[in-house]
Amino acid sequence: MEAISTSERRKSVRRPLMVPARILLPQLPITPVRTVEISLGGIGILSDAPIASNSACAIAFELRTLEESRRVNIWGTVTHTTKIQEKMYRSGIELLDTDSASRQLLQMFIDELTELE
């Protein structure tokens, strides 16, 4: 596992990412969510129910780059949740840890999008 440094989180560039994902929260079943954006420091998701701030969580989703597609696993903490509309909530999750393969794929994805700008 590779921890994400605080300074890296602050300088992380957010990129759009709209894919289905699953979130695991303490004492709850695995719940389907949808990602909306990602950076090396965090991920934004949409869910049908509110998620409590400061909740530890694990998120899994498929990420596709120009070279490959692979499942990404990240561990983090929910920083905030905002109600967008009835039964739709947007949550921000601070990335705390990830396996090295997931981190490399995230970096590749973000780099590819940056090159397209």
How does pLDDT run across 12-57, given as a tens digit for each residue?
A: 788 999 999 999 999 889 999 999 999 999 999 999 999 999 999 9
Question: Is 60 exceeded by the pLDDT of residue 60?
Answer: yes
CATH topology of domain 2-116: Thrombin, subunit H (2.40.10)
How does pLDDT run across 88-114, given as a tens digit for each residue?
A: 999 999 999 999 999 999 998 888 887
Angstrom CA distances, 32 to 19, 21, 69, stand at 11, 6, 20
Q: What is the rounded average pLDDT of the residues 60-72? A: 89
